[in-house]
Amino acid sequence: MPHLTPTGLPTATLRAIAVVALLVAACGTDGTTPSTSLVGTWDLIGFTDMGVAAVTTGTWVFRSDHTCSVNGTITFPGEPTDSLVADGAFVQSGNSVTLTIAAQTGDWTLTTSGNEITLTENGPPPANIITLRRRP
């Protein structure tokens, strides 16, 4: 049986919503040119929450109007698979990205390696990390 939060949602679902919430809205100001624009369609290939890696499936879509959506699944070790469906907003300034989903906002740093990007949440370790691969 999944662990429930005080809101009655399974813990993994709440974590998934928080991740999505953090992947969309305001903007960083590091003043650099982005190595990769987020605009486009990406496969969700990895997520780590406070050092715990989850198995993920699905697609992120970042639009030029600064909205985004994710549709997929997330499975943390020892927990059932949960749906990961959310809409949000984002702003990218250089390699800084601020994401807002479900009234939660977070600042992330973007790094690029080939057709993959890694978003690392700014904050104390262990950092939350999202890995995406651009669809052709």
| pTM of the shown model | 0.74
- For the stretch 13-27, pLDDT in tens is 545 555 554 443 333
Domain positions in the chain: 11-134
Report the topology of domain 11-134.
Lipocalin (2.40.128)
- What is the band of 103 on the pLDDT scale with cuts at 50, 70, 90? confident
**What whole-number distance in Å separates Cα of residue 100 and Cα of residue 123?**
16
